[in-house]
Amino acid sequence: MEIIHVSAECYPVAKAGGLGDVVGALPKYQRQLGHVAKVVMPMYRTKFLLANEWDVVHKGYTHLGNWWFNYTVIKEKTNKLGFDLYLVDINGVLDREKVYGYDDDIERFVAFQVSVADWLVAWKHRPDIVHVHDHQAALIPFFFKYCHAYQSLADIPTVLTIHNAQYQGWMGWDKSTYIPAYDTWKTGMLGWGNAINSLGSGIKCAWKVTTVSPTYLEEMRSNANGLEALLEYEKGKCSGILNGIDNLVWDPSTDGYFEDHFTIETVEEGKRKNKELLCQRFQLDPKKPLITFIGRLVGEKGADLLPQAIEDSFYYVGRRMNFLILGSGFPDVEGRLNAMKGLSRGDYNVYIGYDEALSHLMYAGADYILMPSRVEPCGLNQLYALRYGTIPVVRNTGGLHDTVLDYGDKNGYGIRFNHASVGDMTHGIWRAVEMYQQSEKVKEIRQHIMQLDFSWESSVKSYMQLYESIK
Ligand code: ADP
């Protein structure tokens, strides 16, 4: 079967979060099963672009409303990632350093999708499935079904995966001219809640819709940033498929980002060495448990609760642990976390920014990873942490509910708390510190969690079954 993935991110080409990890891994595992998987994404100005060689495969000319533009599709020459990788270049629009965060993001990603559809028509090539990811690619099912110029693609089955329903690609109806000419009586298939809603349109028009964990799918029926009723209405075509992790990239015995590799047999020594490195670099105390947070410093991740929960932990649990935070996001949260460095007695530090190498070292050297998420569609951090023998302390929601069992329960190994509140998080931290005193228990849990299988091998089969059902 041939699948074309369309996405704004794909690791290691460009990644801002879990979407990049998933789109970098899923096609690779589909190839391993003998299928043909391709990825199409925007051409940003990234290291990966400059470090590799490319063939031009198509040049086209299309438009967004009155604005006509040239686009070029290039393909990586050597199939380095294990699948065909195509980048769409729109001069001055997509070729920027960051993936998101520009005032014209709407125009950028609609122009990207229009170019993809335009190219597929010109290519006269018929994949079995077009799999679109998140709102930056979610207008494509509408384009295929209802835009006059793309009618030759109308019978290609489309799948939309929602990695995060918080962001939906909203635009006012004044921007409807961006949508290539369509049957106006189908306008309703574009909108939701008085605006064009790219993700909402994708949910209406894609042949199948998936979310990245079964529990998130359930939760979205009551909490999906305004899309609840739509998801309830479309529930017949929705399913939840848990993300996997790329065991080739995320392997503590071979990880290219740090030197002190370890296996299940050497986990104690390996984690100790990596922890010492981290503690030295961030002036922390290696004798105390190291509790980390890695991620976007936004409300969704419960990052705003961190400063108070850390202060309360120091006050109520005592200065019996270290905290190390890696992330960037809301300036207010960044500022508060930075200011707290003044309170450190060699037991707190924060690195504001995005640093792939540091994140790998933290998974390897930490004792615990904290995830107080308000919303967590799947969550990859806890899966990486498990593979690296780091015990997750998580809020019981979405994918965290599906992947972390509390160590107080049968076969459990992590720490779960129910509310995204300072009190519940502090209690979770207290439990982690208490657990750490029982070194034999910690050893046993580390060995157990490193053996848990959250690889793509099983999830990829669920996607293949889904494709089969609509092919
Ligand atoms: P998201 O909602 O942000 O996509 P996920 O848990 O699905 O959350 O994926 C987060 C991914 O991004 C993980 O690979 C994590 O290690 C990485 N990540 C997040 N923030 C940072 C950062 N500041 N530096 C390095 N890696 C980060």
Domain CATH for 31: 3.40.50.2000
In a domain, residue 252? The reply is: no
79: in domain: yes
Shared domain for 225 and 316, answered yes or no, is no
Report d(CA 164, CA 313) in Å as an integer: 31
Please tell me whether residues 326 and 180 are part of one structural domain.
no
Compute, in angstroms, the gap from residue 296 CA to the centroid of ligand 1: 7
Residue 254 within any structural domain of the chain: no
Q: Do 59 and 194 belong together in one domain?
A: yes
Q: What residue numbers bound the domain in which 368 lies?
A: 267-449
The residues, any chain, with a CB within 8 Å of residue 238's CB and separated by 6 or more, are 203, 208, 209, 210, 211, 217, 231
* Residue 22: inside a domain: yes
Dist. CA 18 → ligand 1 center (Å): 6
Pocket test of ligand 1: the residue of 243, 250, 292, 296 to mutate, having most ligand atoms within 8 Å of its CB, is 296
CA-to-CA distance for 452 and 392, rounded, in angstroms?
Answer: 13
Residue 371 in contact with ligand 1 by CB distance below 6 A: no
Residue 404, domain member (yes or no): yes
How far apart are the C-alpha atoms of 169 and 187, rounded to whole Å? 16
Number of domains composing the chain: 2
Q: Is the CB of 379 under 6 A from ligand 1?
A: yes
Q: Same structural domain for residues 159 and 289?
A: no
Segment (H or E) for 70: strand 67-76
Q: Tell whether 431 and 464 lie within a shared domain.
A: no
Domain shared by 305 and 356, yes or no? yes
Nearest CA to ligand 1 atom 8: 18
**Residue 233: CB partners within 8 Å, gap ≥ 6?**
none
Whether 461 and 438 map to the same domain: the answer is no
Q: Are residues 209 and 310 in the same domain?
A: no
326 shares its domain with 376:
yes
Q: How far is the CA of 449 from the centre of ligand 1 (A)?
A: 20
Report whether residue 359 contacts ligand 1, using a CB cutoff of 6 Å.
yes
**240, 217 contact by CB (below 8 A):** yes
DSSP string, 343-357: G-SSSEEEEES--HH
Looking at the fold, whether 193 and 327 belong to one and the same domain comes out as: no
Beta carbons within 10 angstroms of residue 454's beta carbon: 22
Nearest to 456 by CA among 244, 211, 241, 240: 244
In a domain, 383, yes or no: yes
Query: Per-residue confidence of the chain (471 residues) as pLDDT tens digits?
Result: 999 999 999 999 999 989 999 999 999 999 999 999 999 999 999 999 999 999 999 999 999 999 999 999 999 999 999 999 999 999 999 999 999 999 999 999 999 999 999 999 999 889 999 999 999 999 999 999 999 999 999 999 999 999 999 999 999 999 999 999 999 999 999 999 999 999 999 999 999 999 999 999 999 999 999 999 999 999 999 999 999 998 889 999 999 999 999 999 999 999 999 999 999 999 999 999 999 999 999 999 999 999 999 999 999 999 999 999 999 999 999 999 999 999 999 999 999 999 999 999 999 999 999 999 999 999 999 999 999 999 999 999 999 999 999 999 999 999 999 999 999 999 999 999 999 999 999 999 999 999 999 999 889 999 999 999 998
**Is ligand 1 within 6 A of the CB of residue 175?**
no
Contact assessment for residue 137 and residue 6, using Cβ atoms and an 8 Å cutoff: yes
307 lines ligand 1 (CB under 6 A): no
Q: Is residue 140 part of a domain?
A: yes
List the residue whose alpha carbon is closest to atom 26 of ligand 1.
356
Model confidence pTM above 0.75 = yes
CA of 447 to the centre of ligand 1 (A): 24
Per-residue confidence (pLDDT) for residue 124, from 0 to 100: 87
Atom 20 (ligand 1) nearest CA: 295
Q: Are 290 and 402 in contact (CB under 8 A)?
A: no
389 in contact with ligand 1, CB cutoff 6 A: no
pLDDT at 248: 87
In a domain, 262, yes or no: no
Regarding whether 239 and 304 lie in a shared domain, the answer is no
Please give the torsion angle defined by the CA atoms of residues 267, 272, 273 and 274, in that order, rounded to the nearest 10 degrees: 80
Helices (H), 193-241: 198-205, 214-220, 228-233
> Which of 380, 387, 395 for a ligand 1 pocket mutation test, highest count of atoms within 8 Å of Cβ?
380
Residue 24 identity: G
Cα–Cα separations (whole angstroms), residue 299 to 113, 152, 329? 29, 43, 9
* CA-based nearest residue to 127, from 39, 230, 254: 39
| 3-state SS class at 254 | coil
In the beta sheet, which residues pair with residue 14? 10
Pocket test for ligand 1, best of 294, 394, 400 (most atoms within 8 A of CB): 294
Residue 41 sits in the same domain as residue 166: yes
Beta-ladder partners of 60:
71
Q: Is the CB of 218 under 6 A from ligand 1?
A: no
In sequence order, what DSSP letters do the residues of 277-304 get, joined into one string? HHHHHTT--TTS-EEEEEEEESGGGTGG
